[in-house]
Amino acid sequence: MKYEFPAAFWWGSAASGPQTEGTVAGDGKGENIWDYWYKQNPEIFFNGVGPENTSYVYDRYKEDIALMKVTGHNSYRTSIQWSRLIPTGTGEVNQKAVAFYNSYIDELLANGIEPFINLYHFDMPLSLQQKGGWESKEVVEAYAAYARTCFELFGDRVKKWFTHNEPIVPVEGGYLYQFHYPSIVDMQKAVQVGYHESLASAKAIKIYHEMKLGGQIGIVLNLTPSYPRNPDDPEDVKAAELADAFFNRSFLDPAIKGTFPEDFVSLLKSLDYLPEHTAEELELIRNNTIDLLGINYYQPRRIKKKESSERLSDKPMPDDYFDNYIWPDRKMNPYRGWEIYEKGIYDCLINVRDNYGNIPCFISENGMGVEGEERYVNADGMIEDDYRIAFVQGHLKYVHQALQEGCNVKGYHMWTCMDNWSWTNAYKNRYGFIAVDLDQKGKRTIKKSGHWFKEVSDNNGFDA
């Protein structure tokens, strides 16, 4: 069967500034929470690899963009590092960063690759974290000023902007499950952080639309559809709906509808955990919604009603309202510990079509992290990652089906272009179309999947 995609479909990949750029002596970058956490606790980072040793893009971006072209990219998402552009989070702009990002953007455009630029990808400037990070209203205002600066500097050429990547992750990683800094367990603070991220997003959207720069601004959300163990059991269904409220609708609803989910608000009210807010802020969120939605899809949630007595904290936690359920028929990526369920990407798109006005959207991340890919190097030095080709193709078949059924999906970006640093996991699992050899100063080699993706992009589809 031939899977054909629309003529102007966005083919490409996604990455972030903090996961790729690295740190170069004299670059003027300020310290962010990852730099700080690594200095404090290097042992929690896989093989002790910290954020200064990311994929050397600061020096190699021109080579990388040439490789993007060879691997079929017509678009590419990355992020501006707040701590690179404005080293202390507020005040003076780092002119070396301006020159770098200007050159990066110009090089992408010169190669026919549209830049999609994200403003925040988990990299809070340390000086602002010391003022409370996303717990602080002052930081929300600092972010709005940072966003304005980015639009002023780069908005003449960048026409696709995103306020946040996966804003639920600083909430769950930093304030619930301890896999991001500040690594605390406090659901009340988590709720305030999430609210402030939505407020910051709305402020940036308002600024962008008022500047009339002729582009679009959106948000990138990692959507994990919650499937009840038994769809005929009302308690399983309710548990799945609450999981969906915590991890999906808490950001999806304010971003698109301008309001927060009623069941979520009701639950927070019952706990006396509603965030500090004002009527004016809620009005601002209501009136400043996104133009474009990025959907990061990796895995589903399998949910059942609360049956265990285990508690993660003596204070309330999302997990007090549901248990995770292992679906007996699941297939797994054993390296990442994630279920591979291709139909989930279709279900995300149908949900946006049916419940969110069929807003223009695209798959902004989808990918497969594998440890020890050097096992698959052939005699020519190329990694034969047929498993990644199968993974992407399987998901693209469902994107195609969603398109056939009227979903307003504009493109597909894989995570990621070249192997990059992945927070505390560092380089444990590799995701890229292009291999990065850390032992050879970041030498790049296109994998089999990169050559395959070029064919898909050139043909605007594939046969399968």
Active site residues: 365
- CATH class of the domain at 2-463: alpha beta
pLDDT band of residue 439 (cuts 50, 70, 90) is confident
List pLDDT tens digits, range 131-174: 999 999 999 999 999 999 999 999 999 999 999 999 999 999 99
One-letter-per-residue 3-state SS of 203-259: HHHHHHHHHCCCCEEEEEEECCCEEECCCCCHHHHHHHHHHHHHHHHHHHHHHHCCC
Percentage of the chain modeled with pLDDT above 70: 100
Write out pLDDT tens, residues 268-310.
999 999 999 999 999 999 999 999 999 999 999 999 999 999 8
Tokens at 67, concatenated: 């490789």
Q: What is the pTM of this model?
A: 0.98
Confidence class for position 79, pLDDT limits 50, 70, 90: very high
Question: What pLDDT is attached to residue 200?
Answer: 99
Q: Which helix (H) or strand (E) holds 299?
A: none
What long-range pairs does 312-318 form, CB within 8 A, spacing at least 24? 312/177, 312/185, 313/185, 313/187, 315/185, 315/186, 315/187, 315/188, 316/187, 316/271, 316/273, 317/176, 317/185, 317/187, 318/176, 318/187, 318/242, 318/243, 318/246, 318/247
Among residues 22, 28, 5, the alpha carbon closest in space to that of 98 is found at 28
Beta-carbon count within 10 A of 43 CB? 7
410: which residues sit within 8 A by CB, 6+ positions away?
6, 8, 9, 10, 292, 360, 361, 362
Residue 244: partners with Cβ closer than 8 Å, 6 or more residues away: 225, 226
For 197-208, write each residue's pLDDT tens digit. 999 999 999 999
Looking at residues 102-113, what average pLDDT do you find?
98
**Dist. CA 138–CA 142, nearest whole Å:** 6
pLDDT of residue 45: 97
| pLDDT one-digit tens code per residue, 11-65 | 999 999 999 999 999 999 999 999 999 999 999 999 999 999 899 999 999 999 9
Question: Residue 219 in contact with residue 293, Cβ under 8 Å?
Answer: yes
Token pair 């032992």 in the structure block, residue: 439
Q: What pLDDT, on a 0 to 100 scale, did the predictor assign at position 294? A: 99
**pLDDT at position 7, please?**
96
* Cross-strand pairs, 383: 377
Host H or E run for residue 404: helix 386-404
CA 12 to chain CA centroid, nearest Å: 15
| CA of residue 288 relative to chain centroid, distance | 21
Mean pLDDT in residue range 439-451 = 94
Write the single-letter amino acid at 241: E
Write phi, then psi, for 369 (nearest 5 degrees).
-90, 130
**E-strand spans in 135-191?**
160-165
